Amino acid sequence: MGFNNKDLKQIKQKGISPEKVEQQIAIFERGNVVVNIREAATLRNGILAISEEEKEDLVGIYENKKEELDILKFVPASGAATRMFKAFYQFLEEYDPEKENLEDYVERKNDPKLELFFSRMKDLPFYDNALEILRKKHSDYDQLSEDKQQYYFVKTMLEEDGLDLGDQPKGLVPFHKYEGHLASAFEEHLREAVDYASSGNKVRIHFTVSEEHRAKFEAEAKEVIPTLEKETGKDFHISYSYQDPETDTIAVTKENEPFRDENGDLFFRPGGHGALIENLNAQVADVIFIKNIDNVVIPKNRQVLKENKEMLAGKLLELQDKIFSCLQQLEKELSQNDLEEMIDFVQKELNSGLSINFDELSTEEKVFTLKRKLNRPLRVCGMVKNEGEPGGGPFWVTHKNGEISLQIVEGSQIDHENYQQSKIAQEATHFNPVDIVCSFKDYKGKKFDLHEFVDEETSFIANKTKDGKELKALELPGLWNGAMSNWISIFVEVPVETFNPVKTVADLLKPTHLVK
């Protein structure tokens, strides 16, 4: 691939090598690599069902150790709120209250969430704020027809001289309404962290944000943290990072030629949430909780959330102790019985398959293989029953070398044109709500380099547009998919009450987001 001098200068400015760009173009030429799913992970077949008694024990393990641990909560929060309001930007473009009844429009769109929004919008946390602006802008607002009132409400919700919510970071949109107080998702994450991610008086939270929005997050932190510290007696330590421009990927045309903008410059796009493996890799902690910015609960579900988060962390610590003990044993002379027990532990408790010819290996080779299997980052992932929410699912996957492992697999990674693969995908009973507790220190206390555990083949090619022109975009291996493909993965069922995402503004009207 030939780049001109202007291209090379642009590539250098981004901190990427020409060779890296050529590798990305080669991925476009190769196309998506589908995952070979063997079977869906289900309860007691890849997903652990924890009894109440076991839960108490695991919570006890975590609570007994947490004060001596460095704990961090890691929250991907760089997304803008635009997608939350997508249907309403479209509404403003399409709907004219002078020409059509709102009821007819909603019926024509056949969107249940649109119907929910207009029937219940008075329950939105920011409704009163919008109404105050509306009455100042339209002195006759209360005399307008209901259709016009609702039309103007949407305009005020989204437009710059109103609440301008669609242009805010998702983490700063008001999610919950308390007595005289609106709480953003950002604030709710701070409150939750006190419950399960604090050690002593210290609460550490790291947010990955867009650089353009950092000042807004810092302003919100300045606003809410003094009150939270007074209420909880905790000291909050907030840090931020951005998606590194070096993780941006080149876009190409349908013919796999570099896509150029109107100025003839190469066009690079952010590499998707998989780029955040860089941000995660930079963190230092003993235990890290990972949870998306739009997934927060209201007070009545916080105790359930706390118990289950601590249960997952207890499971992590329990397994980590066993793993470290095995690795220390492997440095000594082993009896055949010890070796067999270790093999059993790796296969049954760590869900880690061994190659077909493992039994034929010498003892020395078996020890080497076991060390490789055990000495990896560890994650324990909560899985909820599939109730139709979008997200990756847990599957047993067969790799090229014949080994089998547990993976979180996105729908886009599955070959749905293959009847057998499509059938297995439909048998999934659970999905991943991005509820992860992890640790990436080895048994000697040294931090793993997370780049070494990424499956680069799981990059994903998507069709996009730029200035009305079609292009192909490359997304890096997803943070909890390919980027963690070679971690030790443990899946545990957690109650659906712990998962409360907001994908559209209408989700704020679900009972699980109404504080009343």
What pTM, to 2 d.p., does this model score? 0.94
Share of the chain above pLDDT 70, in %: 99
Maximum mean pLDDT: which of 247-251, 398-402, 408-412, 457-461: 247-251
User: Are residues 398 and 452 located together in one domain of the fold?
Assistant: yes
Q: Decide which of 140, 167, 194 is a domain's last residue.
A: 167
Q: Kindly state whether residue 292 falls inside one of the protein's structural domains.
A: yes
Please indicate, yes or no, whether residues 56 and 119 belong to a single structural domain of this protein. no
For residue 514, being part of any structural domain is answered with no
The predicted pLDDT at position 354 comes to 81
392 inside domain: yes
Residue at 60 is within a domain: yes
391 and 437 share one domain: yes
Does residue 390 carry a pLDDT above 60?
no
Q: Would you give the end-to-end CA distance of the chain in angstroms?
A: 61
pLDDT computed for residue 516 by the predictor: 76
306 and 160 in a common domain? no
Q: What is the DSSP string of 405-449?
A: EEEEE-GGGS-TTSHHHHHHHHT--EE--SEEEEE-B-TTSPBP-
* Rounded average pLDDT over 374-392: 87
Give just the sign of the alpha carbon dihedral 35, 38, 40, 44: negative
Query: Using 50, 70 and 90 to split pLDDT, how confident is the model at 433?
Result: confident
Same domain, yes or no, for 230 and 149? no
Q: Does residue 62 register a pLDDT over 90?
A: yes
Looking at the fold, whether 128 and 148 belong to one and the same domain comes out as: yes
CA torsion sign for 459, 480, 83, 217 is negative
Residue 511 lies in a domain: no
Residue 388: the pLDDT is 66
* pLDDT-based confidence at residue 391 (cuts at 50, 70, 90): low
- How many structural domains compose the chain? 2
**Could you tell me if residue 338 is inside a domain?**
yes
Does residue 3 carry a pLDDT above 90? no
Q: Is the pLDDT of residue 353 over 70?
A: yes
The answer to whether residue 516 sits within a structural domain is: no
Mean pLDDT of 449-459: 93
Confidence of residue 514 (pLDDT cuts 50, 70, 90): very high
Distances, alpha carbon 298 to alpha carbons 166, 168, 215, 381, 500, in Å? 23, 22, 26, 22, 9
Q: Take residue 82 and report the two structure tokens written for it.
A: 């635009």
The average pLDDT across 57-80 equals 96
Cα–Cα distance between 224 and 336 in angstroms, integer? 59
- What mean pLDDT is reported for the chain? 93
pLDDT, position 147: 94
**Is 63 found in the same domain as 128?**
no
Instruction: Mark whether 34 and 143 lie in a shared domain.
Output: no
Please indicate, yes or no, whether residues 37 and 154 belong to a single structural domain of this protein.
no
C-alpha–C-alpha distance, residues 76 and 185, integer Å = 12
On whether both 96 and 179 belong to a single domain, the answer is no
Domain that holds residue 63: 5-80+170-498
Point out the domain boundary residue: 167, 201, 233: 167
Q: Do residues 163 and 176 share a domain?
A: no
pLDDT tens string 143-179: 999 999 999 999 999 999 999 999 999 999 999 999 9
Any idea which of 191-205, 302-316, 402-416 has the lowest mean pLDDT?
Answer: 402-416
Out of 167, 186, 217, pick the residue that ends a domain. Answer: 167
pLDDT value of residue 271: 87
Q: Is the pLDDT of residue 352 over 90?
A: no
Question: Of 93-107, 242-256, 460-474, 493-507, which gets the smallest average pLDDT?
Answer: 460-474
Is 90 exceeded by the pLDDT of residue 286? yes
- Whether the predicted pLDDT of 1 surpasses 60: no
- What CATH number does residue 473 fall under? 3.90.550
Tens of pLDDT, residue by residue over 211-237, are 999 999 999 999 999 999 999 999 999
Task: State mean pLDDT over 319-339.
Answer: 93
Distance CA 467, CA 465 (A): 7
Q: For residue 2, what pLDDT is reported?
A: 75
Would 508 be classed as within a structural domain? no
Query: Residues 417, 482: one domain?
Result: yes
